[in-house]
Structure 1
Amino acid sequence: MIVLSLYLVGALAALVAFVLNNNFKMGIVVGSALPSLIFALIILPFETYLPALFFTESPVIFYGAAFIGMASNKVLSSYFLIGIAGLLFTFIYLFTSPFFDGFGGALGTTAALCFLPVWAISLLRKK
């Protein structure tokens, strides 16, 4: 159940950042950083009530998946595919994060690697 909620966090983060960036014209930095900050501040007081795995991993997943939301709707306009990229980010993060320990830029790189196949799917669907 906890892992499922982490996947939900990843999909939601990508979608929220995408909507703030494209629909509300907040820009890529504010559109991804602001909801990440708000999410972290919301769960902070609930540390004793939330499972340890969710409390430690969900802010990182939210922040990393929000990088996917930095995409322009001119490149990819499907909310569904943005959500799928957020799910893919969560999957890759949960299974590979120990290998990237100590490397800078791992979240952004993972987000880019999760966006690319989803973007390729959208290009193939157009043709």
Structure 2
Amino acid sequence: MEFLVLVITALAGALGTYYCCNRFAWSPVRSSATLSMIVALFFKIFPDVLSQSLAETIPVVFIGATFVGMVSGRQTTSYFGISLAAVIYGIILLNMSDYFHGYGGALGTTACVALLVVLSSRYLKSDKKAYVGTRKVWKQVKKPIRKG
């Protein structure tokens, strides 16, 4: 039950941040900080609303999920992609958070991994997947070298 609550928290954090960035034209930092502050203050003022472990874990999961929602609208424009990244973030964070200890922050690293999984998935269905990221280099290599 707690796992489901934390995954829903991750969804709310990512989608809320993405929505505020695109709907209200807030900067990603402003939307992440505002929403995180609201959630953290709520559980600071009302710590007995849920169990103690959930009241301590929900703000942490929410803050990390806002990192997922800070992705640019140019990179992904679908709420489905953000939702999928948030679910992946929640699963990775809850199952492997001890593994990321010492990598500069488990929340940011986990959010980055979740977004990379979702953003790179579009290249898996592309017929040109072998050339992604190498087209410019290959064109430069093919150019004749001018002497003189």
TM-score, normalisation: structure 2: 0.77
Match for residue 99 of structure 1?
Answer: 99
Write the distance in 2 (CA, Å) between the matches of 1:117 and 1:81: 10
RMSD: 1.8
C-alpha distance after superposition, 1:99-125 (max 9, x if no partner): 334553221111011001111234556
The 1:78–1:100 alpha-carbon spacing in structure 2 relative to 1, beyond 3 Å, is same
**For structure 2, which runs of at least 5 residues remain unmatched after alignment?**
128-148
Say which is worse superposed, 37-46 or 72-81, in terms of deviation.
Answer: 37-46
Task: Point out the structure with max Rg over C-alpha.
Answer: 2
Q: Contact 1:2 / 1:53 at 8 angstroms: preserved in 2?
A: no
**For structure 1, which runs of at least 5 residues remain unmatched after alignment?**
none
- In the TM superposition, residue 19 of structure 1 has moved relative to its aligned partner by 0.9
Higher relative contact order (CA 8 A, sep 6+): 1
* 1:38-53 matched pairs, under 5 angstroms: 38-53=38-53
Write the distance in 1 (CA, Å) between the matches of 2:81 and 2:14: 10
1:66 aligns with 2:77: no
TM-score, normalisation: structure 1: 0.89
What count of residue pairs does the alignment treat as equivalent?
127
Identity of aligned residues (%): 36
- In the TM superposition, residue 24 of structure 1 has moved relative to its aligned partner by 1.2
Match for residue 24 of structure 1?
Answer: 24
